């Protein structure tokens, strides 16, 4: 089976894996419910142990859940990550009550890209920024310009487009896992509380799993904005190279004519 890779031409990995993860946890929460009878539990185990039936369920419902997770906006983990940076990261602070733009600005962080060009990139990057990006600042998110840049790259440079889509897929995968983990914690947590209210007992295994889930969410919140900024940096660099390539082709065509 030729499984598509993250950011590949059929890039469904960032959809499929979070969906399957959530599907498994929905089944686990249902298994833990005190009112789930033994016959139902046996049916769940049978479905899992049957390779063909299990594969059909995973492909159909796992992909569906992944699509539904992708409908959630990335602003929630992005805003939580910004809050984390402002609260706990010393590197994000520039003074009392003041922070670097990457911790406060909205996606696609156009103001922060100016700082990146000044401090880390060659002079031609700043020239390109002033020509194409600086006037795209808006009060809020200018996703239209960002998406236009990605389409332009895809239409001109296949290799650069692959890098752009890989960076985007990684961001979407992490966002999908953030929501999948959050829902899994909610479902399993409710099942454990319900079970405890009736039996007075709590299984240690699910509690340990929930601890790992909380840790995973914490790591995502700590790093999500940094990863999304790297996606923007990839798009900016690819846009710069694409525009330079187009300008060269236009100049060469003018000479030939």
Query: What are the residue ranges spanned by the domains of the chain?
Result: 73-256
> Under DSSP, is residue 98 helix (H, G, I), strand (E, B) or coil?
strand
Q: What is the pLDDT of residue 1?
A: 40
Q: Which of 105-109, 119-123, 196-200 shows the lowest mean pLDDT across its residues? A: 196-200
Q: Are residues 107 and 208 in contact, defined by beta-carbon separation less than 8 angstroms?
A: no
Mean pLDDT (whole number) for 6-31: 79
Q: Is the dihedral of CA 229, 232, 237, 240 positive or negative?
A: negative
Q: Is the dihedral of CA 76, 77, 81, 82 positive or negative?
A: negative
48 Cβ contact list (under 8 Å, min separation 6): 27, 54
Q: Are residues 167 and 235 in contact, defined by beta-carbon separation less than 8 angstroms?
A: yes
Mean pLDDT (whole number) for 192-213: 87
Angle at 250 between CA 244 and CA 255, to 5 degrees: 125
Mean per-residue pLDDT of the chain: 86
Report the alpha-carbon distance of residue 114 to residue 136 in Å, rounded. Answer: 12
Structure tokens at 102: 């990457």
Q: What is the pLDDT of residue 14?
A: 87
Q: What is the pLDDT of residue 256?
A: 62
H or E stretch covering 173: helix 158-199
Report the alpha-carbon distance of residue 67 to residue 59 in Å, rounded. Answer: 12
Q: Percentage helix, strand, coil, to 5, in the chain?
A: 80, 0, 20
């Amino acid at each position: 089976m030729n499984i598509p890779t993250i950011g590949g031409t059929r890039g469904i990995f960032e959809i499929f894996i979070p969906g399957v993860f959530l599907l498994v946890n929905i089944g686990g929460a249902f298994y833990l419910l005190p009112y789930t009878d033994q016959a139902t539990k046996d049916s769940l185990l049978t479905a899992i142990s049957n390779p063909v039936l299990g594969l059909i369920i995973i492909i159909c419902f796992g992909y569906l859940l992944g699509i539904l997770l992708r409908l959630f906006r990335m602003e929630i983990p992005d805003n939580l990550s910004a809050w984390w940076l402002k609260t706990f990261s010393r590197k994000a602070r520039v003074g009392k009550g003041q922070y670097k733009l990457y911790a406060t600005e909205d996606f696609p962080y156009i103001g922060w890209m100016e700082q990146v060009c000044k401090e880390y990139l060659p002079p031609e990057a700043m020239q390109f920024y002033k020509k194409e990006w600086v006037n795209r600042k808006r009060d809020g998110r200018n996703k239209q310009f960002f998406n236009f840049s990605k389409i332009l790259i895809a239409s001109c440079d296949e290799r650069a487009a692959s890098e752009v889509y890989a960076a985007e897929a990684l961001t979407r995968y992490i966002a999908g896992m953030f929501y999948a983990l959050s829902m899994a914690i909610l479902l399993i947590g409710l099942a454990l509380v319900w079970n405890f209210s009736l039996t007075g007992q709590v299984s240690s295994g699910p509690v340990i799993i929930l601890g790992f889930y909380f840790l995973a969410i914490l790591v995502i919140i700590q790093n999500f904005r940094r990863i999304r900024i790297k996606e923007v940096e990839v798009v900016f660099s690819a846009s710069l190279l694409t525009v330079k390539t187009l300008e060269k082709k236009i100049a060469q065509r003018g000479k030939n004519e």
